[in-house]
């Protein structure tokens, strides 16, 4: 006995004409757009140059503050009091108008007040900060 398979009506109802129209319209759009951008680059315009040019969107360097077990602050391997750190941070924030980031690395045995004081100084000076507690052995 032969088995009859009924063909679905979905494939018969699917029209390919609108799909082909959309593909051709997209093709024409990208051809025209690429041609216009190519013409802009072909114009012979002398652009200005600067000897000491810096990119306008430079990412500011992060300042790393290490806090040892006794609560001492170390910035760039130099010991600083909180007042010295605050003046250095104020100067750095002024020099980085895009925003200064401070990474606070604290020993896990340090009293909580010292990292809180450093975070308070960061907020006072307008710098963003992130805190990490150093694990034993790191």
Sheet holding 78-80, edge to edge: 78-80, 73-75, 63-67, 101-107, 128-134
Asked if residue 53 is part of any domain, the answer here is no
Structural domains in the chain (count): 2
pLDDT digits (tens, 9 = 90+) for 84-109: 999 999 998 888 877 888 999 988 88
How much is the pTM? 0.55
Where residue 47 falls among pLDDT bands split at 50, 70, 90? low
Question: What is d(CA 104, CA 66) in angstroms, rounded to the nearest whole number?
Answer: 6
Average pLDDT score over residue span 47-70: 73
Spatial CA neighbour of 63 closest among 135, 118, 133: 118
Higher-pLDDT residue of 37 and 68 is 68
38/70 same-domain check: no
Whether pLDDT at 138 is above 60: no
Res 15: pLDDT: 78
Same domain, 33 and 88: no
Structure confidence at residue 25 (pLDDT):
94
What CATH number is associated with residue 119?
3.30.420.270
Structural domain of residue 24, as residue ranges?
18-42
């Amino acid at each position: 006995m032969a088995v009859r398979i009924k063909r679905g009506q979905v494939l018969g109802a699917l029209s390919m004409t609108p799909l082909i129209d959309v593909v051709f319209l997209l093709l024409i759009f990208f051809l025209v757009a690429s041609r216009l951008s190519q013409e802009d680059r072909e114009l012979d315009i002398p652009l200005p140059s600067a000897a000491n040019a810096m990119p306008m969107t430079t990412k500011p360097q992060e300042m790393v503050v290490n806090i040892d077990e006794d609560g001492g602050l170390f910035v760039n391997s130099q010991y600083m009091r909180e007042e010295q750190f605050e003046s250095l941070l104020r100067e750095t924030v002024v020099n980085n108008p895009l925003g200064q980031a401070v990474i606070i690395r604290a020993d896990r045995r340090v009293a909580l007040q010292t990292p809180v004081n450093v975070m308070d100084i960061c907020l006072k000076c307008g710098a963003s900060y992130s805190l990490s507690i150093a694990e034993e052995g790191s």
